[in-house]
Structure 1
Amino acid sequence: MTRVPMVRRVFGDGPFAEVGEPALTVVDERSRTVAVGGDLGGVQWSGSGTADDRWTGHRIGVYERDGLRCRHLVRSCYPVRALAFHPVLPLLAVGTGRYDGGYSFEGELLLIRLDSGDVVSALPYPREVLGVEWRSETELRLALAPCDDWENPRAHEEGHAVVVARSDWGVVGPGSIRAEELASPAEPFVRPDHSAEARRVLTELAASAGRQWSVRRRVWAVEGTEDGRVLAALDGVLAESWLPSGDLQWVVDDEEGGRQLVPATDGTSVWTNAERRGRRGEGRWETSPPRVARIALDTGQVRETLSPGVFTVLVAGDRRTVLRPLGGRRKQPERLMMFDLDGPADGPEVGHFDVFNHPFPVRHPSRPYVLVGTDPDKPYRDKWVTAVDADGTLRQLFPHSWVPTEHHFGGPAAEIGHSLVYAGAVHHGHGLQPGGAYTVRRSLDGSVLWQHRADHPATALDTDGHTVYVADNSGALTALDADDGSVRWRTELEVAGVPTTALSLAVAPQGHLLIGTVDGRILECTPRQ
C-alpha cells in the first residue's frame, strides 16, 4: 500500500528560502535569533488565477543565528511593517498592514511566542501597525496608520503613536488591547523602506555561515525527463535544468520568468513562455514583448523563438505548437495559433480568455483541450470542455460544470485513458466557500465518474494512472484513488519540519513526485512502500 511520500532531495534550497522577498530583518544578539518578514508573492499569473483565492504569501520567519535553521514560520494576512524582540521574554512583536486600495488601513499586531510558536493577534480590530518598539519589559510603543483616509488627504503621510503597557506580555490574549488604548493625535510619519537593508543583512548572515543567499520564488512549472533530469520554470528564470547528481546544469534567465513547460515533440527540447507585466518606465508604463521559446534539454540553448504578438498560454497535446492568446482588448474573436515547420497558421476561434474561467492545462493529453464559452459576448458563461481535432476543428465534449446551478472556474487537469480529471472552484458572490473547491473525473462523454470536494483551490494536479495527486494553496497534498476518488492519504508539505506550499507538481518517468514550491524550491519525493 502506498503511503505519504517523503522528501528525498531538495533542489534550489538556500538560507531564508521560506520567507521569499525580504521586507525587514531584525537580529537579536541576546537570544541569537533572527526574525525576517517577507513575501512569497501571489499564486496568480496572466494564464491562471483560480488558486489565488484565500491565499496569502506574507511570511514571518524566525531563525537561529547560528546555523540559520528556521525555527518558526508564520503566515500573515498582511505585509510585515515592523519587528521587535522583547528585551527579556521569548516574544516577537510584529506589525503588519496595508492600505486596502479604497478606504481603510488594515493590519494586525502579532505576538509570536518563540518557545512554542504560538501566535496572538492582539488588536481589537484590523489596523495597520507601522512600527513596534519595546520601551521596557512592560511597555510597547506602536505607530499606527490612520483607520482610513475618509476626508483626510494626509492620511498616507501620518501616524498615531501610542504606548501600551502590560505587566506580562507573555499572557496577552487575542484582541485584548482595548480601542481606547490606541487613541492619540495624528502626526507626520514617514513610512520607511527596509528592503535594501534586509537584503544586506541576510547576505552577511549567510556569508558568516559559509553560505550564499539569493531570492528564489515560485516554481510555476516542473518536469522530469527520461534520463532523470529535473526541469523548472520560476520567477526570474525562463527554464533551468538539474542533473540527476543534484547539480544545476543550465539556466536561461528572464526578467519575469517562465510560467509553463511543455515538452516538444522532438524529445530533445521543451517549450516555455514568460510572464510579461507592465513596469513604470520614463513617465509611462512599459511592457516587454511576449516570449515563447524552445530550449534544448542538453545545453539550455534557445533553439527557436516564436513571436505571437500577444501574450499566450501553451496548449499541450499536438505535434504543432499551439498557443492560446490571453484576452486582450481587441474586439475580434480570439483564435488559437498553430506553429509548425511551415510557420504560423490561424486555428479555430476559442473566444476571449479569462484568467479565472479558462485555465485548463492538461497533462498527458492525447490532443489539445481548451475551455470555450458558448456566448461570444460573455465567454466566461456556459463553458464547454472542447477538443482540438487533428484537422484543427473544435469538437465540444461536455459542459465544464456538471452541476447546472454552479458556475465553475477552470484549473489544472490530466488525461487518464478515455477520461479527464480536473480541479477548479465554484464561484460564489462572497468568495470561495467551504467545499467550494473540487477535483472531478469525467469520461469524455461527460459522465461523472467521481468527485472530491475541498476547502482550498488546487494549485497543481498530476496522475500516474493509479493515483491522482492534488496540491492546494493551504500547503496540503492529497492523493486520490484514480478509480473511485477516495482519499488514499493527505499530508501537509514540509521541508525540514517547516511548512511550504506546492505551486506545481509532476509525476516523473521514474515514478517519484516532483513538487515546485512557492518559495523557489523543487522537492523530489519518493513514496514509501
Structure 2
Amino acid sequence: MSIKKADIAKTNHQDWRDDFPRARAAGSMRRQRQHTITQGIAMTSIMDPTLRGTGRITGAFFHPAGDIAAVVSEFALLVNPPARAAYGGTGVRYRLGLYRRGEPVPFAIFDELCLPINDVGFHPTLPRIVIGAGRYDGGYLFEGELAVWNWQTGESRRPYADIPEVVRCRYDTSGERIDAWVRPWNEEWDGLDDSDWSVILDTLFLVQIDDSEAAWTARTSEVLELDPAATVAASGLPADDQSPPAGRLARWLGVPELECRSAIRDIAWLGPDRIGVTHDDCLLDIYSTDGTRLAHHTGTGYGAEILRGAGVHVHGVLVQDGPEAYRRDSRLYRLTDNGLVLVQEYDDEYTFSAASDGRLLGRRNRLRSPGSKAVDLLLDPARDNVQPVDIGHYDCFNHYIGISGAPHLFALQGTPASSHEHKYLCIVRPDGAVQRLWPLLKQDGTRASHAMECRGAYVADALGAGVVIAGQHYNPSVGDAYQGFIYRRLLERGQELWRHPTPASPGAIVHLPEAGLVVAAFLDGTLMLVDARSGQLRLNAKARIDGLPTLIHAMDARDGQLALGTVDGRIAVRPVVDLLDANDARGWVEIG
C-alpha cells in the first residue's frame, strides 16, 4: 500500500477540521479514537495526542503573523525498565515541528539536531528559521549547534563547523543577518573564574552571522572565533515568556489544555480485543481495540513492564523527589478482576521476565547500587514462594535480554559470572540453578565479540525451539558507524539458522507463529519483518506514523495483529499482512 505523506496530512487535516468545532464546544481537542478500514483490514490508532509527532514539549515559538507555531520537543531515550539502557543508533532525539492552527499533523519537521533546542527565530519574510541548540556537557564544555532551515525546500545549512551552546538567536529586521548569543567554549574560557558558576552562566558572546543569498549559495562552514570584546550579560537580554510551552500552545489553539502522552513503555495483548499499555501517567491502561479506554490504573510511579505468564503482572517504578530523585525502586503488581494488587516492594532497580507457567525472574541492576546486599529473585506466585538467586553481575547495558512468555526463564551471564564480558545465554531452572547454553557471539578476541544493548524473543516452530537475539557489536570509537546483529539460533547446541546486520540497537522483537514471521524494531526507526525459518527479509523500512518518522519502543503480537507503542506516545494496532503488502521501495512504511 503506497501512501504519500501529503495524502496522509491532507486526510488527517480534514478529519481534524471536522472534529474541531465539536471539540472546542466540549472544551477539549481529545480525539478518543481514530478508526479506519483499509482494504477490509482494521487499523486503529488509540488516544492520539493533540499535536502529532511530538515528544516532551520543551518550547513553543510563534510566527509574527500568528499563523504558525514552532513546537520543540525531546524524545526519550530507551531506558525502560530502569535496569535497561539502549542508545545505539537512536534516530530521533530532538524535533522542531511547524503547525498551523487546527491541524494536528505538522506540515514540516526538522530532526537533524543532536542537542536540546534552546531557541528559534523566524525570518521576517522568507520561509526560513534559525535554530539554536546546546547544553553543558556535565564536566567542562558547552556544546552547541546552530542550523538555518528552509521549511519549504527542506534545505538547511550550518554556518559554523563548531559552536558553543546557543542560548538565543534572532534575525535582524533585514533578514540578511542572524544575531546569536552563545556561551563560552568551556568553563575556563578567556580567563573566566570557574569557581563562580553564576558568572560563567551569565557570560554570553554575540556572534553575527551572514544569512544572505550569497551565504546560502556558498554553503561553507566557517571556523568560529569568539570576540572577547563582544560579551554580554545573559541577565541583560530581554526575557522570553517563561510560562509552560504546553499552556501557551493550548491558548494559541483555543483549548483548555493539550492532550499529551509520554513514550509508550510497554504494550501487551490481554485478550483478543484488549490491549494493556504503560506510560508515565499510569501503572497500566487497558484499551479495547476500538479505541475505548476500559481501565486506568494509577499509583505512586509508572508502569514499566507488562508480564504475561499464568496471569498478568505489572512491574511498576516508584518515582521520588528531593535527594532520592534518581532512585527508581521497583514495585510488582498482579492484575486481578478488582484492579492492580501490590505483590511486593523492592528497594532497588530490577527488570522482570515471566515464564509461561507463571514463574518470574527479577534481575537487579548492580550498576546502580553496587553496595546493596540484594540479589536476583526467583518468584513462583502459584506457590507464594520467593527464592533469592545470584545469577551474577548485572548492568543495564550488558545483561538485559527481555525474553518473556517462554517456557523457560532466560538470562545473560558473563564469564566469569561476575563479569560483563564473554556473555552466555542461560536458562534459570525452577530450583534456581543456572544452565549455560552458548555464547552470544563467537569469542574471537576482537571487540566485536562483545555484545551489548541486546533484546531477544522466544521462537518455536517446525525447526525447533530457539531464540532470536539482536544487539550491538561493541565499539569504543564514538565516530564509527554502528554495527549490530540479529540472528536466530536453536536452543540445543546453538545452531545458527540465519543472521543479518542491523543499523541500530533493538527496541522490541516479537514472533508471530501463525504468520511464520519475526518482527524487530530498531532505534533508528527501522522495522524488519523476517521469515522465521529462512531468514528472508520480508520488510526492511523506516517506520512512520501520520507520515512522520518515529521509533517503536514497545511491541506485541496476537493472531496476526501487531500492537505498537512509539516514542512519541502513539498506540497503533496493525495487521501484519498490511505491512507485508506495503511497498517499502521508498524506504519507509506507515504504521498508523
TM-score (norm 1): 0.89
Residue correspondence of structure 1 range 240-255 to structure 2 within 5 A: 240-254=285-299
CA distance in 2 between partners of 1:77 and 1:432 (Å): 14
The count of aligned residue pairs is 516
User: What SS is found at the alignment partner of 1:429?
Assistant: coil
Whether 2:446 is the aligned partner of 1:408: answer no
What letter corresponds to residue 340 of structure 2 in structure 1?
V
Report how far residue 100 of structure 1 moved. Answer: 1.4
Report how far residue 88 of structure 1 moved. Answer: 0.1
CA distance in 2 between partners of 1:9 and 1:88 (Å): 41
User: What SS is found at the alignment partner of 2:530?
Assistant: strand
Whether 2:96 is the aligned partner of 1:48: answer no
User: What SS is found at the alignment partner of 2:358?
Assistant: coil
Query: Structure 1 residues 59 and 306, CA, compared in 2 at 3 Å: closer, same or farther?
Result: same
CA distance in 2 between partners of 1:172 and 1:195 (Å): 37
Query: Structure 1 residues 68 and 332, CA, compared in 2 at 3 Å: closer, same or farther?
Result: closer
Contact 1:59 1:73 (8 Å CA) reproduced: yes
Report how far residue 249 of structure 1 moved. Answer: 1.5
Whether 2:537 is the aligned partner of 1:487: answer yes
Any unmatched runs of 5+ in structure 1? none
Q: String of CA shifts for 1:481-521, please: whole Å, max 9, x gaps.
A: 211222111222112111111111111x2311111100111
Partner of 1:387: 427
Which residue of 304, 324, 331 maps to 2:363? 324
Partner of 2:394: 353
Contact 2:187 2:200 (8 Å CA) reproduced: yes
Whether 2:179 is the aligned partner of 1:141: answer yes
Partner of 2:129: 92
User: What SS is found at the alignment partner of 1:23?
Assistant: strand
Contact 1:387 1:395 (8 Å CA) reproduced: yes
Partner of 2:15: none
Query: Structure 1 residues 155 and 173, CA, compared in 2 at 3 Å: closer, same or farther?
Result: farther
Which residue of 69, 72, 75 maps to 2:108? 72
User: What SS is found at the alignment partner of 2:535?
Assistant: coil
CA distance in 2 between partners of 1:239 and 1:363 (Å): 18
Which residue of 120, 133, 144 maps to 1:83? 120
Which residue of 488, 495, 512 maps to 1:464? 512
Report how far residue 11 of structure 1 moved. Answer: 1.5
Query: Structure 1 residues 222 and 194, CA, compared in 2 at 3 Å: closer, same or farther?
Result: farther
Question: Once structures 1 and 2 are overlaid, which stretch shifts more, 168-177 or 519-528?
Answer: 168-177
Which residue of 46, 50, 59 maps to 1:24? 59
Residue correspondence of structure 1 range 43-442 to structure 2 within 5 A: 43-45=78-80, 46-52=82-88, 54=90, 57-75=93-111, 76-136=113-173, 137-150=175-188, 152=192, 153=194, 154-168=199-213, 171=216, 174-177=219-222, 179-180=224-225, 184-190=229-235, 196-208=243-255, 212-254=257-299, 256-266=301-311, 270-276=312-318, 279-281=321-323, 287=327, 289-296=329-336, 301-317=339-355, 318-327=357-366, 328-330=369-371, 334-377=375-418, 379-405=419-445, 406-417=449-460, 418-431=465-478, 433-434=480-481, 436-442=483-489
CA distance in 2 between partners of 1:339 and 1:311 (Å): 20
Report how far residue 65 of structure 1 moved. Answer: 2.5
CA distance in 2 between partners of 1:180 and 1:433 (Å): 28
Report how far residue 235 of structure 1 moved. Answer: 2.0
Query: Structure 1 residues 439 and 432, CA, compared in 2 at 3 Å: closer, same or farther?
Result: farther
Contact 2:400 2:412 (8 Å CA) reproduced: yes
Q: CA RMSD in A?
A: 2.8
Query: Structure 1 residues 176 and 339, CA, compared in 2 at 3 Å: closer, same or farther?
Result: same
Query: Structure 1 residues 310 and 102, CA, compared in 2 at 3 Å: closer, same or farther?
Result: closer
Contact 1:259 1:272 (8 Å CA) reproduced: yes
CA distance in 1 between partners of 2:346 and 2:223 (Å): 58
CA distance in 2 between partners of 1:254 and 1:20 (Å): 23
Report how far residue 44 of structure 1 moved. Answer: 1.9
User: What SS is found at the alignment partner of 1:412?
Assistant: strand
Which residue of 504, 510, 528 maps to 2:554? 504
User: What SS is found at the alignment partner of 2:246?
Assistant: helix
Any unmatched runs of 5+ in structure 2? 2-37, 582-592
User: What SS is found at the alignment partner of 1:374?
Assistant: coil
What letter corresponds to residue 514 of structure 1 in structure 2?
A
Q: String of CA shifts for 1:257-294, please: whole Å, max 9, x gaps.
A: 2221112414xxx212133466435xx75747532111
**Percent of matched pairs sharing the same residue:** 20
User: What SS is found at the alignment partner of 2:421?
Assistant: coil
Query: Structure 1 residues 175 and 355, CA, compared in 2 at 3 Å: closer, same or farther?
Result: farther
Q: String of CA shifts for 1:143-200, please: whole Å, max 9, x gaps.
A: 1111111252232221112333443388366554552587753232149786633121
Report how far residue 357 of structure 1 moved. Answer: 0.7
The structure with the greater share of residues assigned to helix is: 2
Partner of 1:8: 43
Q: String of CA shifts for 1:424-444, please: whole Å, max 9, x gaps.
A: 111111148546111111111
Contact 1:42 1:56 (8 Å CA) reproduced: no
TM-score (norm 2): 0.80
CA distance in 1 between partners of 2:102 and 2:226 (Å): 38
Contact 1:469 1:479 (8 Å CA) reproduced: yes
Contact 1:334 1:352 (8 Å CA) reproduced: no
Query: Structure 1 residues 31 and 68, CA, compared in 2 at 3 Å: closer, same or farther?
Result: farther
Query: Structure 1 residues 291 and 390, CA, compared in 2 at 3 Å: closer, same or farther?
Result: closer
Query: Structure 1 residues 288 and 450, CA, compared in 2 at 3 Å: closer, same or farther?
Result: closer
